[in-house]
Chain A
Amino acid sequence: GAVVSQHPSRVICKSGTSVKIECRSLDFQATTMFWYRQFPKKSLMLMATSNEGSKATYEQGVEKDKFLINHASLTLSTLTVTSAHPEDSSFYICSARRQGEDTGELFFGEGSRLTVL
């Protein structure tokens, strides 16, 4: 099966700092990757759709200047939480589909637990 690697799995930072999370598709190419946020016992909330070589599409209510997404290659997307605050503490998960597939299963990373002190 296809593998998506997410790094770091856990990060603790001070309020006001920026944190970068990487999402890599290890054995397939992904034109599109998706970033989700999940609070405890809550559903996955789509934050943005990351498109290789173009700007990300953000969901309503998600601040694009706060959550910077870069999809520089067909195997790597990054999410940078800028000037993080305690309310940004959450579980961030990326996912991807194989290149050329507009539908079908999503391959998820293992998630990144962000704690902002």
Chain B
Amino acid sequence: SQKIEQNSEALNIQEGKTATLTCNYTNYSPAYLQWYRQDPGRGPVFLLLIRENEKEKRKERLKVTFDTTLKQSLFHITASQPADSATYLCALDEGNTPLVFGKGTRLSVIA
């Protein structure tokens, strides 16, 4: 069966450290993988998209990797800040089909 798994429901880290979130998938062949941020009671906001032929993508303090052999994406936030506290969702895009979302990881950055 098809599955998307984000490594943990919740992750607590100290301010200034690098947060690493994991997204693993089974029985999908995504052409793209996307990461979104969702704050409580709000809709998700797009952060980054990485294509299947890209290994790594960066945007300011964010970095995403995509390993189609391992069927895994890693999402890094460097120099984390309390304002980074939110739920982060990964989403698979197989092209011409609706996005499929993981359950998300709730990140808490502690000052």
Contact = CB atoms under 8 A, between A and B. Distances in A.
B95 A102 contact: yes
Interface of A: 4, 6, 34, 41-44, 46, 49, 91, 93, 95, 102-111, 113
B56 interface: no
B49 interface: yes
B34 A105 contact: yes
B46 interface: yes
B103 A42 contact: yes
A93 B45 CA distance: 12
Given A34-B98, A44-B89, A49-B98, A103 B44 contact: no
B49 A111 contact: no
Contacts, number: 54
A109 B43 contact: yes
A107 B46 contact: yes
B96 A102 contact: yes
A93 B106 CA distance: 19
Interface string B12-39: 0000000000000000000110101000
Contacts of A41: 9, 106
Interface in B81-100: 89, 91, 93, 95-96, 98-100
Given A108-B45, A109-B43, 14 more contacts: A41-B106, A44-B44, A46-B100, A49-B98, A91-B41, A103-B31, A103-B93, A105-B49, A107-B46, A108-B43, A108-B44, A110-B42, A111-B42, A111-B43
A106 B45 CA distance: 8
A111 B44 CA distance: 9
A104 B49 CA distance: 7
Contact of B103 (A43, A91, A93, A106): A43
